[in-house]
Amino acid sequence: MDRLSLNQITTKTWSLREAVAGCAEAGVGWIGLWRDKVAEVGVAEAARLVRSHGLRVSSLCRGGFFTGVTPEGAPVDGVADTRQAIEDAARLGTDVLVLVVGGVANRDLPGSRRRVAEAVDQLAPVALRHGVRLGLEPLHPIQCAERSVLSTLDQAVAIAEPYPPEAVGVVVDEFHVWWDPGIAESIPRAAGRIVGFHVCDQLVPLTDPLLARALPGAGPIDHRTLRACVDAAGYTGPIEVEVFNADLWQRPGAEVLAQVISSYRNHVVGVPGG
Amino acid sequence: MDRLSLNQITTKTWSLREAVAGCAEAGVGWIGLWRDKVAEVGVAEAARLVRSHGLRVSSLCRGGFFTGVTPEGAPVDGVADTRQAIEDAARLGTDVLVLVVGGVANRDLPGSRRRVAEAVDQLAPVALRHGVRLGLEPLHPIQCAERSVLSTLDQAVAIAEPYPPEAVGVVVDEFHVWWDPGIAESIPRAAGRIVGFHVCDQLVPLTDPLLARALPGAGPIDHRTLRACVDAAGYTGPIEVEVFNADLWQRPGAEVLAQVISSYRNHVVGVPGG
């Protein structure tokens, strides 16, 4: 239980204030913050709230969009935005900034991927200076067009490798990588660079591909095997339960958090037959 | 134009009879048939209709579901069903049977993949005997849970490799593989085994992941680069335009087919700047 972290998106109806209080109440020691929720109270107040409840911040979501392509379509300066996010992460007391790198620009997938590598090259020294590790998160291939031209863990590791692990790491999210036929080899390759492990399941049957996620145990993902693999790669940090699910988002935060805790106990850390 | 094939799913409202007549009328020489449409008139009558209109059948969709997991959930005997489909393909005069291998059984992805390899091992001699090549089609990873534990072309090639190319090949479908960071290397590895090339685009923004497809040119896929890659691998067979799209399925078949032809001309075979 001491590694469980509530990623704030899972209890989307909760404000930051409510989420922090809810975690403290439920005995969850870690929280993964989202920038839009932080913005509601401001970075300084968010940092104060987290501290005053005795919590630690597992990560800040998110910087990135280096290709300029977002689901909203409006152009963004991903590098400038990520500089700000690095500063915010440091002030919030977390050493991990999750990056969603952006979708395909101009039907040019190789070119879009080069832009990501170039942005990381600019930002790695900034991150290092602030004591924040950039967490390259490969997203499920279904998000390639709109959100992330990094689709596999191997790609993320390849972009991270030229930099010290204190500057650039990778985030392993079960929803995004579970299908990958090479994942049992990719996770060991990421050893020393894993800065986050996100757990959730996939909804079956599929509907909206962004929201097609569920609490661990509700879908086809073999959580114990994936966790064993991440453990064997030496990752000992917090494990975020991060679930995008429209039904969960209709229910009271405390009820959702109780389910997060039980699904984490039963499917992520539980020992089969134990 | 002599390589264009209409995959029947693209004009879903058309019966087999209408689709065959529509292709003949529009000067499209190839058609990719679906078993449910064939079943409406029976295999013998379907074969007669195709022949009498001077068409050739690029492929029959589909056999497979060897893991027993289908979107409908009902258990199926994929091997028995595929034996029947091989016979049907031969009677319809096509030498390609497309395989969709089935989703994850019991949260056991490696075990499910082994079942696919075992089924192919049983069916390869049957296919060879009938002069039909099994076309292993990797599906987009978003279909892994429900439809296909083969998610990459490399996986399909690895399963095909022990068998003669006259028995087991692979199908390259743009929607399913375009995001793959290794695709420019995987297609050359498939040389000599490519038994089908399916073109379409991805809808952006995404909605239903099964129907999130569009005519070539409407989305982020770089068709010319993919086609050049498939050409370089020596594939000279028919190119099927296969689009699952709810809006297209509301429109008259002839209108859809006209758009198929123009999108194929402009985005698949057209020469940039030419």
Here the CATH number for the domain that contains residue A237 is: 3.20.20.150
| Domain residue limits at A141 | 4-269
To the nearest whole percent, how much of chain A has pLDDT over 70?
A: 98
Please report residues of A whose CB lies closer than 8 A to that of B210. Answer: 206
Residue B258 lies in a domain: yes
Residue A121 lies in a domain: yes
Report in angstroms the alpha-carbon separations of B19 from B12, B14, B60, B211, B252: 9, 6, 14, 20, 11
Choosing among A67, A101, A107, which should be mutated to test the B contact, i.e. which has the most B CBs within 10 A?
A107
Q: Tell me the pLDDT of chain B averaged across its residues.
A: 95
pLDDT of B114 higher than 90: yes
To the nearest whole percent, how much of chain B has pLDDT over 70?
A: 98
Q: What is residue A209's predicted lDDT score, i.e. its pLDDT? A: 77
Report in angstroms the alpha-carbon separations of B26 from B20, B29, B47, B269: 10, 9, 20, 18
Choosing among A179, A213, A226, A267, which should be mutated to test the B contact, i.e. which has the most B CBs within 10 A?
A179
Chain A residues within 8 Å of chain B (Cβ atoms): 71, 103-104, 107-109, 113, 140-142, 144-146, 151-152, 154-155, 178-181, 202, 204-210, 212, 219-222
- Give the DSSP per-residue string, B97-134: EEEE-B--STT-HHHHHHHHHHHHHHHHHHHHHHT-EE
Average pLDDT over residues B124-142: 98
pLDDT of A151 higher than 90: yes
Residues B15-50 pLDDT 10s: 999 999 999 999 999 999 999 999 999 999 999 999
Q: Do B180 and A151 touch (CB under 8 A)?
A: yes
Q: Are strands B213-214 and B201-202 parallel, antiparallel or unpaired?
A: antiparallel
- Each as own residue / partner, the long-range contacts of residues A109-117 (CB below 8 Å, 24 or more positions apart, any chain) are A109/A144, A109/A149, A109/B178, A109/B179, A109/B222, A112/A67, A112/A69, A112/A149, A113/A149, A113/A150, A113/A155, A113/B181, A115/A66, A115/A67, A115/A68, A116/A66, A116/A67, A116/A149, A116/A150, A116/A159, A117/A159
Q: What residue type is assigned to position B157 of the chain?
A: V
pLDDT of B274 higher than 70: no
Residue A200 lies in a domain: yes
Q: What is residue A273's predicted lDDT score, i.e. its pLDDT? A: 43
> Which of A94-103, B27-36, B64-73, B112-121 has the least mean pLDDT?
B64-73
pLDDT of A58 higher than 90: yes
Choosing among B104, B147, B174, which should be mutated to test the A contact, i.e. which has the most A CBs within 10 A?
B104
Q: What is residue A271's predicted lDDT score, i.e. its pLDDT? A: 57
Quote the pTM value: 0.95
pLDDT of A274 higher than 50: no
Report in angstroms the alpha-carbon separations of A68 from A43, A247, B29: 25, 31, 42
Average pLDDT over residues A49-75: 93
Residue A28 lies in a domain: yes
Q: What is residue B273's predicted lDDT score, i.e. its pLDDT? A: 43
Please report residues of A whose CB lies closer than 8 A to that of B155. Answer: 181
pLDDT of B219 higher than 90: yes
- Residue A45 pLDDT class (50, 70, 90 cuts): very high
Q: Do B113 and A222 touch (CB under 8 A)?
A: no
Residue A207 lies in a domain: yes
Residue B274 lies in a domain: no
Residue A274 lies in a domain: no
Average pLDDT over residues B204-217: 87
Residue B216 lies in a domain: yes
Q: What is residue A87's predicted lDDT score, i.e. its pLDDT? A: 98
pLDDT of A272 higher than 60: no
Q: Mind telling me how many Å the CA of A9 is from chain B's nearest CA? A: 20
Q: Do B152 and A181 touch (CB under 8 A)?
A: yes
pLDDT of B9 higher than 70: yes
Report the complex ipTM: 0.94
- Residue A97 pLDDT class (50, 70, 90 cuts): very high
pLDDT of B111 higher than 80: yes
pLDDT of B106 higher than 90: yes
CB A230 within 8 A of CB A193: no
pLDDT of B271 higher than 90: no
- Residue A71 pLDDT class (50, 70, 90 cuts): confident
Instruction: Report how many domains make up chain A.
Output: 1
Q: Do B107 and A220 touch (CB under 8 A)?
A: yes
Q: Are strands A201-202 and A213-214 parallel, antiparallel or unpaired?
A: antiparallel
Number of H helices, E strands in chain A: 10, 10
